[in-house]
Chains A and B, each alone.
Chain A
């Protein structure tokens, strides 16, 4: 993997072991499906697979790897629900591509940047999902800015903590 340079500053590219690459997204899907049984509001505000997508995409800094990671995680998330497969897939593909493209250009290693990036990508993810669900599948969807921002903030907070934990699995190229 090449080391990319941005504004003269060296930005490191990371990779992950195969168990982490497969296990962490699966764990995120599992936790996302299990916790709402005990805490029903969890599914309303948090999207762990999205956070994992953003983390892997930003750490790898490779748009193609990012979009495929997002597509795989999103499609798997679709399979657990009953809506047509591809809704989360499309939304997370866009997020994966965007996060890795941003990771190439910006230093997203500090907590503040991660917070803002996660908030922004949560809103982008919601917007893409909303558009596809209404436009292509004709699902009834209600857009709420208040809910979007609250959930975005909640995910951003969780993302900062989660990314800090997942940093332990990073391997330098």
Chain B
């Protein structure tokens, strides 16, 4: 007997070790399948051993990157700054339109006692590690229970959702990505309003399941969260449909490209507080498009002189100055107004400071007056999403065709030369 044990000692030990591990696996499967919370005490050792090094390395890497980007690599920053300012201008206009829509929606929701969900608090976290295996698509972030993070909290970036918190340790958390095959997210197609379940596959792809095969789903349609999973609030972007095919059991097989780049995550937001409240119409927070535009765009003089090519652009002088401004080209894009010249040179330059009215422009025109005419002298770019909502035809305003060298006009309220023309984009009269 002893000789047999001695002879097969290695094999017996191998079988014993394998048996123990199989037993452990079976216990885990019986207790709760893939739930890592059941083995938290064991996992915490490995996490504590690895994540401090990852945290230090990420910190050092970011520090080096910051020194490089903040001090050495500043090429093109000026141009980029100009471009971003243009973008801000366009987004402000878009924001005005959206806030009007939102206010209208709130009014309607309050009428039917609708309860809305909103994200009240998020925690920004840095991605410091991954599972290191394509069979477990998880990442580690540098915030844990000490930052208020708990299990099943939604994780997202500005582009779209990323996943949910699987395990929250003291100072780190493990996040299950939406591309993992064990994840599931309630999803909704933006235009067709079809609902389904978003799942990851073994290959790391993301598919939308449970959409009946007799439905029409166009490629390119945006997929949003439906809120049905009680983890992600409704309406967060998930991605876009890239391929639609027939799947199993009368359902479509819809492939989705996540909006957030799951392979290059650096910083994420964890939704730590998500409240539900009764929708109320907030009457006092309305900002009309005309108010914003009046603050941002040059005014038009009361009496556009024939000699003035651009009343809007030449009416302003530096505050207190009595000298006439130098004649400038009349038409200037709204975006460009923010980019360069200070108020002393051109009135439109004053618009580069958001919220700071240019001299000679009333901060808030009276109702009925509109920014429609001023816009005529500074039509936004065609590509601007707000273009259709804020910019009337440049030809409609007299200032766009007015000749040059108009005398300067001191500060006074802007009045539309042609008050019969309503400002485009004024969708909600107060």
Contact = CB atoms under 8 A, between A and B. Distances in A.
A132 interface: yes
Q: How large is the interface on B (under 10, 10 to 19, 20 to 34, 35 or more residues)?
A: 35 or more
Given A26-B50, A33-B131, A67-B17, A84 B34 contact: yes
Contacts of A142: 202-203
A170 to B, nearest CB: 23
A118 B194 CA distance: 49
A152 interface: no
Interface string B172-187: 0010100011100000
Nearest to B28: A84
Contact of B21 (A76, A93, A140): A93
B53 A86 contact: no
Interface string B32-53: 0110100100110111011001
B263 interface: yes
A78 to B, nearest CB: 8
Contacts of B9: 64
A136 B17 CA distance: 16
B67 interface: no
Interface string B123-156: 0000111111111101110000000000000000
A97 B202 CA distance: 29
Given A33-B54, A71-B17, A93-B18, A86 B24 contact: yes
A84 B134 contact: no
B75 interface: no
B259 to A, nearest CB: 17
Contact of B47 (A26, A79, A129, A140): A79
A40 B133 CA distance: 10
Q: How large is the interface on A (under 10, 10 to 19, 20 to 34, 35 or more residues)?
A: 35 or more
A153 B215 CA distance: 44
A49 B133 CA distance: 11
B264 interface: yes
Nearest to A144: B203
B46 A79 contact: yes
B21 A83 contact: no
B105 interface: no
B135 A94 contact: no
Interface in A68-88: 68, 71, 75-77, 79-88
A34 interface: yes
Q: Is the interface of A mostly helix, strand, loop or mixed?
A: helix
A34 B43 CA distance: 17
Interface in A35-85: 36-37, 40, 43-44, 49, 63-64, 67-68, 71, 75-77, 79-85
Contacts of B264: 40
Contacts of B130: 33-34, 36-37, 43
A85 B29 contact: no
B112 to A, nearest CB: 42
Given A34-B57, A81-B135, A85-B43, A68 B17 contact: yes
Contacts of A68: 17
B297 interface: no
A80 B132 contact: yes
B35 to A, nearest CB: 9
Interface centre among B28, B47, B139, B265 (most CB of A within 10 A): B28
B136 A81 contact: yes
A26 B48 CA distance: 12
14 contacts: A34-B130, A43-B130, A71-B17, A77-B132, A81-B132, A81-B133, A82-B138, A82-B167, A85-B25, A85-B43, A86-B22, A90-B25, A93-B17, A141-B135
Given A34-B132, A43-B134, A85-B24, 12 more contacts: A33-B129, A37-B127, A79-B39, A80-B43, A80-B50, A82-B131, A83-B136, A85-B25, A90-B18, A137-B34, A139-B181, A140-B181
Interface of A: 26, 29-30, 32-34, 36-37, 40, 43-44, 49, 63-64, 67-68, 71, 75-77, 79-90, 93-94, 97, 101, 129, 132-133, 136-142
